[in-house]
Amino acid sequence: MPKFKYTAIDSNGKQKTGTVDSDSVESANAKLTGMGLMPTQVFVAGSADANTKTKKPGSKKSKKGTKKGAGGFGKVIKPQGLAIFTRQLATLLEAGLPLLRSLEVMIRQERNLRFRSVLEQVADQVKSGNSFSDGLAQFPKVFDRLYVNMIRAGEAGGVLAVVLSRLATFMEKAQRTKGKVQSAMIYPIVVVGVAVSIVALLMVVVVPKFQSIFDDMLDGAALPGPTQFVINVSNGIRENIAVSIALLVVLFFAFKFFLKTSLGRSLFDWLSINTPKVGDLVRKVNIARITRTFGTLLSSGVPILEAITITKDISNNGNYANALSRIHDHVRDGQTLAAPMEREKVFPNMVTSMIDVGEETGALAEMLNRVADNYDEDVDNAVGGITSIIEPVMIVFLAVVVGFIVIALFLPIIEIIKQLS
């Protein structure tokens, strides 16, 4: 039975190190938890520390190759493509092929030239004696910290194929959740685009023709208020169309710049989780993403403190990232995970209760993945609810705007009919 070195925190908050006999990293973590310790680092005795990056032959070559492989505009590979690569690599390893042979197979079938270049350089790293995770770490724009650390944990525990399969499942579920949210946003964007196009057509083409009719038929008589308002807006748009477009472009980039500031990002994050209906969806998406990431990392053997840090780094909302940072500090000081999480308002009671049970039973990773599954279903329901509300609101909005313009144009026609009769 292999020996595992560990670093853990006891009930008094003191750090302890030692070795433990176990079949895998997961069972070693469970055994340490049963001893009343909270493991922060577990790896096979004699292997490199999970957080230590050693310089090995070929490192200079890999740095040079990084510029070649990750250069150019845009992403080297889309998330969907990376998930497919991960799933296929896991399948090859599970079939018994060695890692290097599996990489060569993936390189031959890869059609994305930039990603193929990255894989070739990773394969060269493995040939030079570096670990697979060290090779991936040379390309942080392609393989993020979560990806690299999970691979490193899989290598340390001798379960690389299992970890790759878990990682592929995680990425696939994350993409499905993201796709559901994006699909919910497509409809309102299309409706708004159609509404703007219709209003622009009315203002630029239709209204001026009615204005010339009114000038000829009413001999300069005063127009009704709504009609004069519509004509003024139409004239303003036509006479200042270049200025209007330039102003919209400036406002767009000013808004993007504002979001990059700490104040703008904080304000946007607060609004995104407190806006009615939309905030409910954003909260559920964030909790699903956080629990899925955290559970996948723990089940792959990544130490709990490192898992919290990685989960914090991938969080898209500053409120959750700040909460995870505070939780990390409390866990580092010897507290359980559930206790500081209960004090954070961004996590519902149901989530903290299930995590508490998971810690008590030694099945924290499994419980986190169950929470993620539940919230993925809630995301489906929330998306459906928002879509059902947005559809009638958009239709009513379009009807009111177009209806106002049409009524405003027909008011003078009524006066003309009265004069003719």
Q: In residues, how long is the chain? A: 421
The domain spans of the chain are 3-44, 59-143, 163-421
Fold of 3-44: Ubiquitin-like (UB roll) (3.10.20)
Query: Could you write out the DSSP letters of every residue in 121-144?
Result: HHHHHHHTT--HHHHHHT-TTTS-
Find, among 211, 203, 164, the residue nearest to 402 by Cα. Answer: 203
Torsion of CA 340, 329, 286, 79, to 10 degrees: -150
Are 44 and 158 in contact, with CB atoms under 8 Å apart? yes
SS3 23: coil
CA-only gyration radius of the chain, Å: 29
Q: What is the pLDDT of residue 116?
A: 92
The residue that leads in pLDDT, 303 or 23, is 303
Q: What is the pLDDT of residue 62?
A: 40
Q: Please compute the mean of the pLDDT values over residues 158-163 and round it to a whole number.
A: 85
CB neighbour list of residue 294: distance below 8 Å, 6 or more residues apart:
307, 308, 311, 368
Query: What confidence category does residue 389 fall into, taking pLDDT thresholds of 50, 70 and 90?
Result: confident
User: What is the per-residue pLDDT across 231-258, written as a single tens digit (0 to 9) for each?
Assistant: 888 888 888 878 878 888 999 999 989 9
Query: What confidence category does residue 323 fall into, taking pLDDT thresholds of 50, 70 and 90?
Result: very high
Tokens of 54: 């050693």
- Please state, for a pLDDT cut of 70, what percent of the chain lies above it: 88
Fold of 59-143: Receptor-associated Protein (1.20.81)
In whole angstroms, what separates CA 69 from the centre of its chain?
Answer: 24
pLDDT for 155 beyond 70: yes
Report the amino acid identity of residue 38: M
Q: What is the pLDDT of residue 421?
A: 62
3-44 and 59-143 in the same fold:
no
pLDDT for 64 beyond 70: no
Helix axes of 262-274 and 241-260: crossing angle, nearest 10 degrees:
90
The residue that leads in pLDDT, 157 or 275, is 275
Q: What is the pLDDT of residue 367?
A: 92
CB neighbour list of residue 8: distance below 8 Å, 6 or more residues apart:
15, 16, 17, 32, 37, 38, 39, 40, 41
d(CA 259, CA 255): 6
pLDDT for 61 beyond 60: no
Q: What is the pLDDT of residue 159?
A: 82
Query: What confidence category does residue 329 fall into, taking pLDDT thresholds of 50, 70 and 90?
Result: very high
Q: Please compute the mean of the pLDDT values over residues 45-56 and round it to a whole number.
A: 45
Q: What is the pLDDT of residue 12?
A: 57
C-alpha triplet 8, 11, 16: angle, nearest 5°: 30
Q: What is the pLDDT of residue 50?
A: 42
pLDDT for 67 beyond 50: no
Are 34 and 362 in contact, with CB atoms under 8 Å apart? yes
- Residue 248's alpha-carbon distances to 115, 163, 186, 230, in angstroms, are 37, 48, 21, 20
Q: Please compute the mean of the pLDDT values over residues 392-408 and round it to a whole number.
A: 86
Query: What confidence category does residue 373 fall into, taking pLDDT thresholds of 50, 70 and 90?
Result: confident
The residue that leads in pLDDT, 64 or 322, is 322
Give CATH for domain 163-421: 1.20.81.30
Interior/surface letters 176-200, b for 16+ CB within 10 angstroms, e for the rest? ebeebbeebeeeeeebeeebeeebe
Q: What is the pLDDT of residue 272?
A: 86
pLDDT for 208 beyond 90: no
The residue that leads in pLDDT, 1 or 296, is 296
User: What is the per-residue pLDDT across 93-133, written as a single tens digit (0 to 9) for each?
Assistant: 888 888 888 899 899 888 889 999 999 999 998 888 888 98
Find, among 406, 202, 177, the residue nearest to 287 by Cα. Answer: 177
pLDDT for 72 beyond 70: no
Tokens of 56: 């090995």
Query: What confidence category does residue 296 fall into, taking pLDDT thresholds of 50, 70 and 90?
Result: confident
Across the chain, mean pLDDT equals 82
pLDDT for 404 beyond 60: yes
Q: Please compute the mean of the pLDDT values over residues 37-48 and round it to a whole number.
A: 65
Query: What confidence category does residue 206 fall into, taking pLDDT thresholds of 50, 70 and 90?
Result: confident
